[in-house]
């Protein structure tokens, strides 16, 4: 039997990188998955890659109306929800002294505020015993120059899981944070002004990791599968770091 047979999952930011790899793995394991993203063209590519077992919904996680439409669709199509992976996020590195108000507001709006309201709007659909996974980062507890705003938002997610685990203990919903180290996804290119600069960033991260390489989206998806499935039935309020040892030794 597949590990997610009959389960219904929502993955925000599921059109590329970690979200896409997680959606594909969940479908392979028997789940029906709804994925969101801002760009319909990328959602179409994700649908073509995954095939059956997935519905794509163009949505901006920072907009309440889009989230309402997302969960209304889930309710109409499937009636309930078992798994939520709050994966939407942004990173725009800048050192203290150069951080703009726009940078701060955009980063907190998507990474921290939108995550909270995504979970809040999903809860009425969640079956008792469901799993909520917040995609954090080791940046939430390791000092990385240039990542003040991003790191602070990821620390907030870790705090969310602690609080919500206590608040919803009566429903058996498991809240956990999955915190990757550096993973080779398109977001790396978004931090650079050229392909050469992006390669330099990748090399710098790889050199800092004991396994001497960056992570792959599929490896994070495997960890998400563990937290989504009954394999982690006694794991709640935790943070699972998948970082090649970068922040562990």
Looking at residue 247, the DSSP 8-state letter turns out to be: T
Q: Does the active-site annotation cover 141?
A: no
Among 174, 135, 172, 141, CA closest to 157: 135
- Measure CA 172 to chain center: 21
81-86 vs 54-58, strand pairing mode = unpaired
Angle at 85 between CA 195 and CA 124, to 5 degrees: 145
Burial of 177 (0-12, 13-18, 19+ CB in 10 A): buried
* Residue among 32, 147, 150, 160 flagged as catalytic: 150
Rounded to the nearest 10°, the torsion over CA 30, 157, 138, 130 is -20
Name the 3-class secondary structure at 214: coil
Catalogue the active-site residues: 150
């Amino acid at each position: 039997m597949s590990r997610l047979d009959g389960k219904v999952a929502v993955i925000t930011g599921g059109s590329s990188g970690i979200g896409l790899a997680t959606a594909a793995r969940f479908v392979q394991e028997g789940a029906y998955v709804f994925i969101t993203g801002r760009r319909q063209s990328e959602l179409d590519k994700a649908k073509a890659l995954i095939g059956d077992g997935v519905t794509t919904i163009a949505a901006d996680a920072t907009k309440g109306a889009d989230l309402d439409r997302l969960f209304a669709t889930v309710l109409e199509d499937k009636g309930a929800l078992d798994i939520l992976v709050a994966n939407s996020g942004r990173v725009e590195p800048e050192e203290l002294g150069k951080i703009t108000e726009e940078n701060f507001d955009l980063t907190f709006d998507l990474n921290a505020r939108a995550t909270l309201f995504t979970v809040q709007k999903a809860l009425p659909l969640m079956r008792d015993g469901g799993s909520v996974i917040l995609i954090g980062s080791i940046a939430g507890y390791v000092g990385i120059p240039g990542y003040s705003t991003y790191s602070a938002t990821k620390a907030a997610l870790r705090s969310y899981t602690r609080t919500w685990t206590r608040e919803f203990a009566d429903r058996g919903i498991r809240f956990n944070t999955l915190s990757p180290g550096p993973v080779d996804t398109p977001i790396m290119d978004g931090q650079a002004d050229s392909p050469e600069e992006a390669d330099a960033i990748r090399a710098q991260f790889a050199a800092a990791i004991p396994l001497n390489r960056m992570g792959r989206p599929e490896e994070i998806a495997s960890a998400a599968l563990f937290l989504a499935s009954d394999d982690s039935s006694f794991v709640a309020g935790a943070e699972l770091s998948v970082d090649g040892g970068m922040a562990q030794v």
